[in-house]
Amino acid sequence: MKVGVVGMGTMGAGIAQVSVTAGHETVGREVELALAERGRATIERYLGRAVEKGRMGEGERDQALGRLSLTTSLDDLDDCDLVIEAIVEELDAKRELFRELDRLTRGDAVLATNTSALSVTEIAEATQHPERVVGMHFFNPAPVLPLVEIVKAERSSDDAVQTAYDWAMAAGKQPVKCNDTPGFIVNRILIPLLNDCVRVLDEASVGPEDMDKAMTNGAGWPMGPCALVDLVGIDIHVHASEALHAKLGEPRMAPPERLVQMQAEGKLGRKSGEGFYRYD
């Protein structure tokens, strides 16, 4: 299968890594070549680490990297069988992109969006062929976390859903099919739960370390909620909370004031060097 990945940021680079490692010729498209190169450098670093740890041979790594090509031209995706979009989380930008992809790709290609919180149906409706549009929601970091939510939009065909599911399975992932509902499966549950944890910090006067200690030791979570929000990124979590709140209206979905404040101060978690914890 030939795969296109549009957007080579955090998620796109991870998805492209999954794709080339699974043996697919993969074209990564960015708005500027330097950004695509940055995505490739991330993949090189991760695969380099896999070689160091003995999980992958050097030849295997070189072959995987050899399957990746980079472009700024959408036209280079015209012969892809599957295109996975991982650009900014903005409905208009995604609709515009899907309109273009629908025009230039083969009619039997499946077009997938990695959106976290937008409606896959609204993205699909921008195309002339919404039956070939599905959601493929990877989790960060995409090469590490096994789950991929395969989202069936209102008019997605069973064939398109199955193609996305089979592709994820063959790439070693654990896909799960679901309907196009706000937050799909995991975020619908996890976002209000994490927001509750953040509110309890102030309500019960608990520090982040103790909150994480409580949830790992008392609820068996593999990682504490504050460490998890830092890993996800405060801005990403706030944005996803706002989107879910706008759609479902439950007060628990709204981002807690404390997170909004942290975002305004640039404390975005691991990626900025400081969130609930400091990272050097």
Ligand X SMILES: NC(=O)c1ccc[n+]([C@@H]2O[C@H](COP(=O)([O-])OP(=O)(O)OC[C@H]3O[C@@H](n4cnc5c(N)ncnc54)[C@H](O)[C@@H]3O)[C@@H](O)[C@H]2O)c1
In whole angstroms, the minimum distance from the beta carbon of 158 to ligand X comes to 24
In whole angstroms, the minimum distance from the beta carbon of 99 to ligand X comes to 11
Rounded to 5°, angle at Cα 160 from 24 and 78: 50
Assess 115 for contact with ligand X (CB under 6 A): yes
- For ligand X (CB under 6 A), the number of binding residues is 25
Distance CA 124, CA 126 (A): 5
Active site (annotated) includes residue 241 = no
Assess 12 for contact with ligand X (CB under 6 A): yes
Assess 31 for contact with ligand X (CB under 6 A): yes
The residue from 4, 21, 24, 29 that contacts ligand X (CB under 6 A) is 29
Active site (annotated) includes residue 187 = yes
Site string for ligand X, 221-260 (x = CB under 6 A): -----------x---x------------------------
The residue from 87, 160, 234, 268 that contacts ligand X (CB under 6 A) is 87
Assess 41 for contact with ligand X (CB under 6 A): no
Active site (annotated) includes residue 157 = no
Q: Which stretch binds ligand X (CB under 6 A): 80-88, 175-183, 202-210, 250-258?
A: 80-88
Sequence length of the chain is 280
In whole angstroms, the minimum distance from the beta carbon of 253 to ligand X comes to 16
Q: 């070689």: which residue's tokens?
A: 51
80 CB-near residues (< 8 Å, 6+ apart): 2, 3, 4, 27, 105, 106, 109
In whole angstroms, the minimum distance from the beta carbon of 115 to ligand X comes to 5
In whole angstroms, the minimum distance from the beta carbon of 31 to ligand X comes to 5
Could you say which residues in the range 128-157 bind ligand X, by CB under 6 A? 138-140
Could you say which residues in the range 95-114 bind ligand X, by CB under 6 A? 97, 114
Active site (annotated) includes residue 209 = no
Structural tokens at position 207: 């520090």
Assess 116 for contact with ligand X (CB under 6 A): yes
Nearer to ligand X, 18 or 97 (CB): 97
The residue from 3, 86, 126, 201 that contacts ligand X (CB under 6 A) is 86
The residue from 41, 55, 62, 88 that contacts ligand X (CB under 6 A) is 88
Please give the order of strands across the beta sheet that includes 68-71: 68-71, 25-29, 2-6, 82-85, 110-113, 133-138, 147-152, 174-179
Catalytic center residues: 116, 137, 149, 187
Give the binding site for ligand X (CB under 6 A).
Answer: 6-12, 29-31, 35, 86-89, 93, 97, 114-116, 138-140, 232, 236
